A and B are shown apart, each in its own frame.
Chain A
Amino acid sequence: MGAEGPVIEVRGLKAQFGEQVILRGVSFAVTRGEVVVVAGGSGCGKSTLLKHMIGLYEPAAGSVLIDGVDIAQAREAELERVRRRIGVLFQSGALLGSLTLLENVMLPLVGFTSLSRRGAELVARLKLSLVGLSGYENHLPSELSGGMQKRAGLARAMALDPQVLFFDEPSAGLDPVTSAELDLLIKRINRNLGTTMVIVSHELASIFEIAHRVILLDKKAKGIIAMGPPRELSEQSSDPRVVDFFHRRPADAADAAELDENGGMKA
């Protein structure tokens, strides 16, 4: 595969649930080895964008290309091929509760490689050691803390050495120390394995730590309001919405009123 050209390309994406338009005209590209954080306030469509990028939702207009394959139009076999090249860490880890950690990580290895069970177990143990969970092979997910579950989810997402890893709010619900550890892990994996990463997050500390580039979404604009390296955006942007976000300034009262009107639309 060619190293040049973007790994992921989003072109004029429009996301819509029924009558409600969440995003429109969203376009950007992610290059190989890049860590991109998609940020923005609650309800701005971060997670919706992510779910479009991994092909769980179909765009109302526009397209998402991974490695040049339009995932909304791709045939089943093609889509499957693309999906094996990506890994997704869901918000709560999404481990199968009835399987041990080792079995969870072995799942894709046994399913999609020609490794024998022993070989798959060895690789799965390697992945668990990468996320610092050596020793917990035979534990059930429910016996672990939230941070550990997330790390185990990451081990499973990385099982097949994906080129692209997607993270849905990796630090949500984690204490600051665990969250910082996860950031470190993300950086290490990106550096050593060259994995491209798309991360949905609104943790400022984490954004400054890991992001090469930030894509800032806004609920009112229903799309991207700023894009660039986090330091640059926070120091140079004159857009009040960007400044508000990076300096944790509460949005004005009009925003709060609108929030009430629109009810509890989830991100």
Chain B
Amino acid sequence: MAQGQEPAYEMKSEPAGGGGLRVEISGRLEMNALEGALERFGRLLEESRPHRVELAVGGIDYLDSGGALALCLMEEAARKAGADFRLAQAGPEVRGMLALVDLDKIRRRPLRAEERGLGFVEQVGQASLELWRDFVELVTFLGDFLIALSRALRRPRLVRWQETFFYMEQVGVNGLPIVGLISFLLGLIIAFMSSLQLKTFGADAYVAALVSVAMVRELGPIMTAILVAGRSGSSFAAEIGTMRVNEEVDALEVMGFDPTDFLAIPKMLAALAVVPVLTIYSCVAGILGGMVVGIWGLGLTPYTYLHHTIDSLSAYGITTALIKSLAFALIIAGIGCQRGFVVRGGAQAVGSATTSAVVTAMFLIIVADSAFAVLFYYVF
């Protein structure tokens, strides 16, 4: 058994005639005693340097595989020290256990050497190859996906609408509390911090405009996208990744379903439908957060605050926010599904796919946002 620190065996030795040594082991010789017993036996050998060793095991009343291993290693040690070895009083049980131990097999070199760490150059090389593969896979998926999307648009009957509604609920409705709370607090903080500064210039009245412009032009779409990436992009990747591990994706393919149609399109359509709505909701929550500060901190009436807010908003600003949110939705759902589809292996691969889905989506969201900023400024 695995417990008990006390070695429950006893080892006694006495010299036998003609430079011999008789060692007697009794009690419970078990796995935990393996190393201690070997060490003691080694010391005995060293002290008396015998020509013959007799190991009496008649007193052993419990021997497990670890104990049997110890006996075999003792025999080996004695022979290595140049002594004749004899096992005495071994009953059928002890012999049965000893028959299980094959030291040659245990020592045999593994078919494969242990993984060694890679050198710097190898690591750089591998990372570059991986990056390239990643890129190719992403582009392939994008192509697949656009084809699937156009197919879905041409023949909407084939889209799995029930799934789509399910994911709309998952991504949208279930995301309302967290998106609302964070946006509300964000609006509140912006209004509060800026009011402290603007007060010194007597420009309190601009707080409303500042909050609404910040929320609608930048923070609303970005915050929503980041939250959706964390909530739903990750779950898309984990779901498809697990299906991949369980061979469910292969099964779909063999049955003649296109996995992209079947799994990715509903998620994508749901995200496209819901993320813009969430974005507007986030902007409204942010503006309400700002209004709390406006009313109680700056003494504005709700009417004045809302009036300032509406004045500062333009159709252009709202349209760009919606365009951005659509692009973000595409990124989140696309990356989430793609990372799921490339999972190979087991539980760990699902985990890293999920992480990668979130990190990549956030990175691309920020990149896309910067691109939009430049685009909207110069082109429109």
Q: Which residues of A contact B (CB under 8 A)?
A: 81, 84-85, 97-98, 102, 108-109, 112-116, 119, 122-123, 125-127, 129-130, 134-139, 142, 158, 160-161, 191-193
Contacts and interface: CB of A to CB of B under 8 A. Distances in A.
B250 interface: no
Given A84-B3, A127-B65, 17 more contacts: A84-B1, A97-B347, A98-B346, A108-B2, A113-B31, A123-B66, A125-B105, A125-B107, A126-B100, A129-B102, A129-B105, A135-B110, A138-B111, A138-B112, A138-B114, A161-B65, A161-B66
Contacts of A109: 31
A193 B97 contact: yes
A128 to B, nearest CB: 8
Contacts of A98: 346-348
A131 B38 CA distance: 25
B106 A134 contact: yes
Contacts of B66: 115, 123, 126, 161
B110 A136 contact: yes
Contact of B32 (A84, A108, A114, A137): A114
Contact of B345 (A114, A142, A160): A142
B157 interface: no
Nearest to B65: A161
14 contacts: A85-B1, A97-B346, A97-B348, A98-B348, A113-B32, A115-B31, A116-B35, A122-B34, A123-B31, A123-B34, A123-B66, A134-B105, A138-B112, A161-B1
Interface of B: 1-3, 5, 30-32, 34-35, 64-66, 69, 96-97, 99-102, 105-115, 345-348
A98 B348 CA distance: 7
A138 B111 CA distance: 8
Given A130-B100, A192-B99, A122 B110 contact: no
Contacts of A137: 110
Contacts of B107: 125
Give 9 closest A-B pairs by Cβ, nearest first. Answer: A97-B346, A129-B105, A161-B64, A137-B110, A134-B105, A112-B2, A125-B106, A135-B111, A192-B96
Contacts of A160: 1-2, 31
Nearest to B67: A161
Contacts of B347: 97-98
